[in-house]
Amino acid sequence: MKVLLVGAGAREHAIAEQVSKGAKLYSIMPKKHPGIAKLSEEFLIHDPTDASVVAQWAKSRSIEVAFVSPDALLADGVTDTFAEVGIPVASPTKKAARIEWDKGYARSLMQRNEIPGCPALKICSSLEEAKDALKEIGAIVVKPLGLTGGKGVRIQGEHLNSEEEVLAYCAELLEKDGNVLLEEKLEGEEFTLQAFCDGNSLSLMPPVQDHKRAFEGDSGPNTGGMGSYSTGALLPFLEQKDLDAAKSIMEAVLSAMRDEGSPFTGVLYGQFIATKAGIKVIEFNARFGDPEAMNVLSLLKTPLPQLFLSMSKGELVPAEFSPDCTVVKYAVPEGYPEKGKADELIMVNEQKIWDLGAKLYFGSVYQTEKGIFTSTSRTAAAVAHAQKLSEAEKAVEGALSCISGPLWHRKDIGTQELVKRRIAHIRSLRT
């Protein structure tokens, strides 16, 4: 089978590895990604949004199924580019990907269809409306309606320390986008639940907990994700009823999108929070999470090409996973997330990483004849799985010591201390 992957990052590197195990991989990327290029039968370095060029290239290679990965490319309708020339696709159309690139649409979809899990919210188009929403809702979260790479959400009392700061950020977003989303601030423990979807049905992946905050102890600004962990069928702070509630919400969203003429084929990503009042929805994404993709794909037993093809045909096969624990940690450039140091040479001892029982996926890097260089965003992710979480965490720390360059990472992700804090937090809320 010939499978096309569009995108270039650590998430796409993990997808590429799984595809290449059971099919011939063809790739389109804006810059040469060293890991994906190495796995590909053939690759095209070109702007993926240049529809005529990429469609013709894929058509001439007799691609049997295409998968477009990054959120920005889905929002640009790159999936539609391949569908329009008759190539089956396992990623959502621009219309279906609206569940991610328009947060207002996602919330209104839930409200129209009476899908549970919605916090109190208001979409505001003026500063006066924002002031009224503050009075009505109380403590809030301020969200841009569009894509921000995981860095646009700001929380009152954490990122925004006064009503003046809240309104100033609202004014900034109103000037830029014309609208701003204000939501009730929820207290609890967040988790990610991802599912393969074929427009009608879904197959769940293991739940994962991501760590958005830049620094240890969950402090600092939001990032695209500094790392994540999973512990098999459940996370330590979850009960089965929590997972069942999240699954039910995702099934309802999938059904509503189909009934409203936007059937969703691809990976549906639900960001949930377990609260005292039950499971609530933070947001939906229209693709694999980054870093969560690396947790689940490292456990996947079902061949990914088979899953992609079944999704594109509307005949989804169930996905099977190993019950192991996983840990992912990102090495990021100095200055990240405010201003990551770009164009710095990094050196990697890949053999030693393999010997430690871990893997390395390159993120925001580029390769020239002189070597591999950083960009401003996350550089590389180390991943390991084992029967015990502590074993996987130890292997990841060892792997990150095999990368040299001006990089740093959060060392507390996947540690027993941090996990115990999560468990204690949810118990205190629920009792």
Q: Average pLDDT, stretch 35-47? A: 97
Q: How would residue 367 be classed by pLDDT, with cut points 50, 70 and 90?
A: very high
pLDDT at residue 146 in the model = 83
Contact predicate 228/206, CB 8 Å: no
Q: Average pLDDT, stretch 376-403? A: 97
pLDDT at residue 193 in the model = 98
Q: How would residue 316 be classed by pLDDT, with cut points 50, 70 and 90?
A: very high
Q: Average pLDDT, stretch 87-98? A: 98
147-180: per-residue pLDDT in tens?
877 678 898 988 888 889 999 999 999 998 899 9
Q: How would residue 216 be classed by pLDDT, with cut points 50, 70 and 90?
A: very high
Collapse the DSSP code of 37 into the 3-class scheme (helix H, G, I; strand E, B; otherwise coil) and give the result: helix
pLDDT at residue 66 in the model = 98
Q: Average pLDDT, stretch 132-155? A: 86
Q: Average pLDDT, stretch 102-122? A: 95
DSSP output for 113-126: TT-S-PPSEEEESS
For the chain, what's the residue count? 431
Q: Average pLDDT, stretch 377-403? A: 97
Contacts of residue 318, defined as CB under 8 A and 6 or more positions apart, other chains included, come to: 203, 302
In whole numbers, what is the pLDDT of the chain averaged over residues? 96
Give the CA-trace dihedral at 122, 125, 128, 133, to 10 degrees. Answer: 10
Which residues of 18-177 form beta strands (DSSP E)?
24-29, 42-45, 65-68, 121-124, 140-143, 154-155
Q: Average pLDDT, stretch 272-282? A: 96
Structural domains in the chain plus CATH codes: 2-91 (3.40.50.20), 120-184 (3.30.1490.20), 189-418 (3.30.470.20)
Contacts of residue 169, defined as CB under 8 A and 6 or more positions apart, other chains included, come to: 142, 154, 160
The single residue listed with the structure tokens 């890097």 is 365
DSSP output for 68-96: E-SHHHHHTTHHHHHHTTT--BSS--TTT
Contacts of residue 296, defined as CB under 8 A and 6 or more positions apart, other chains included, come to: 194, 205, 206, 208, 230, 288, 321, 326
184-209: per-residue pLDDT in tens?
999 999 999 999 999 999 999 999 99
pTM of the predicted model as reported, rounded to 2 decimal places = 0.94
For residue 363, with 0-12 CB atoms within 10 Å meaning exposed, 13-18 middle and 19 or more buried, which class applies? buried
Q: Average pLDDT, stretch 217-238? A: 95
- Going from the C-alpha of 377 to that of each of 23, 107, 336, 373, 413, the distances in angstroms are 30, 29, 7, 11, 19
Q: How would residue 47 be classed by pLDDT, with cut points 50, 70 and 90?
A: very high
The single residue listed with the structure tokens 């992912």 is 328
Q: Average pLDDT, stretch 390-414? A: 98
Beta bridge partners of 383: 328, 359
Q: How would residue 425 be classed by pLDDT, with cut points 50, 70 and 90?
A: very high
